[in-house]
Amino acid sequence: MSARPDVATVVAAAETVAAVETVTTESADPCCAAPLPVLGRDVTVPLVTGGEVTYAALDYAASAPALQRVWDDVAAYAPYYGSVHRGAGYLSQLSTDLFENSRVTVAEFLDCRPGDQVVFTRSTTDSLNLLAATLPADCQVFVFETEHHASLLPWRDARVTYLNAPRTPEQAVATLERALADRDPYGPALVCVTGASNVTGELWPVKELAAAAHAHGARIVLDAAQLAPHHPVSVQELDVDWIAFSGHKLYAPFGSGVLAGRADWLQDSEPYLAGGGASRKVARRADGGVDVEWHTTAARHEAGSPNVIGVYSIASACKALTEAGFDSLVERERHLIAEVRQGLAEVPEVRVLSLFGDDAPRVGVISFVVEGWNSSHFAAALSAEYGIGVRDGLFCAHPLVRTLLGSDPQDPGECGAPEAAPGERSLNAIRVSFGAGTPDEHVERFVGAVKELVRDGAQWKYRTEDGRCVPDRG
């Protein structure tokens, strides 16, 4: 039998293809980098008015398309798939190496501290629920009402203080400092905060919030689901205790996520899931019971056969973004953000939602409402008549969207579903989001479609069906 190939050998062909595609992709704007090749970039969709058009995927904040590089790497590895940590066979050993090397890659991508653990999960939601299960006794949790439900809701067994939405970054820090200083009893505490809003795209003052937390004896976890795909994230520079993010927002939609950070709470808690992989030794006792010795490494919280393909796809995305260079990716995204915001500003009927104001730094996530339009109706028309995919609803951030829309906090609302017929007011908004794989033509088409719909109205009739606004084909 030949010597076992290392991971680099297995994926070399895929990396060569990805490099060629990246080089041959040109940007419409010479001052900006080219968009990274993504899977599905040439998919065409039918229009209700007739014909087909290349699909403009502008819902990256929900789930980003796979990078072509990621897809090629996964396809190159797939024939070598084997059980991780479980077998003596050639493919099992190769897959185990791939899995553990991916852990190292993610730690480097996040600039983790020595001794930090990288735990692979299913998603950001799963990561934060895992951390919630490790909280020490009597730990208090502090979270702003502006958070995504993944950050807002996992703390069911803790005493939670929900902080009102701040209107400036400085107010966010001051609000947190007062709440932490006034906590009673003055015991262990955890702050959970987003890096970039999934509604407004605005960047939060993470480093300053981390300093405030530590000054008051608290720890902090960063929800980087919307930040990591757009900006470099450093555990050490931000001085956060943990970071959580999802592969499906990082151009690696294969069912894995990450919780990375300090090991002590993870080691001191019961395993998140009990089962094989989390246990080092299991033995029967004389009384008929079972004694279990659990791992103290990240494996403690990774029971069951791991999703090696999902994990490897995250590592591949981390490498691809790092090699592309975040400086150029950020600059190109700023160009797209400016184009969208300028286009929307030219439509008086459009109101862009914001916490911190027009000048706040942000990622490519923009939410808005249109006067005289039900947001679900508007989003349906963008899809059916222009081939543009956006999101409408409350974006799993109900308290924040209600605050931004100026509604009563008790008003009913359902994430992603309208409560009114087309043309009537509803408690929801429209969100456009984009990233490293978005070509200029997609945002240009979006801006043009918004202007045309507001000026001329929809060309088709729509109706509500199963809670969604859809073209009326009857």
Give dist(CA 329, CA 32) in Å, integer.
8
Report whether 258 contacts 121 (CB < 8 A): yes
Phi, psi of 213 (to 5 degrees): -60, -50
Active site residue 396: yes
Q: Which of 318, 396, 415, 469 is catalytic?
A: 396
Task: List Cβ neighbours of 152 (8 Å cut-off, separation of 6 or more).
Answer: 143, 145, 162, 397, 399
Where do we find the tokens 């990288």?
A: 118
Identify any residues that bridge with 375 across adjacent strands, giving them in sequence order: none
Give dist(CA 81, CA 71) in Å, integer.
15
Task: List Cβ neighbours of 337 (8 Å cut-off, separation of 6 or more).
Answer: 201, 362, 363, 364, 366
DSSP secondary structure string, 9-53?
HHHHHHHHHHHHHHHHPPPSSTTSPPPPPBTTTT-EEE-TTSSEE
Give dist(CA 330, CA 232) in Å, integer.
9
Task: List Cβ neighbours of 223 (8 Å cut-off, separation of 6 or more).
Answer: 124, 128, 147, 148, 150, 151, 192, 193, 194, 195, 244, 245
Computed from CA positions of residues 353, 354, 360, 362, in that sequence, does the dihedral angle turn out positive or negative?
negative
State the DSSP code for 355: S
Active-site positions read 396
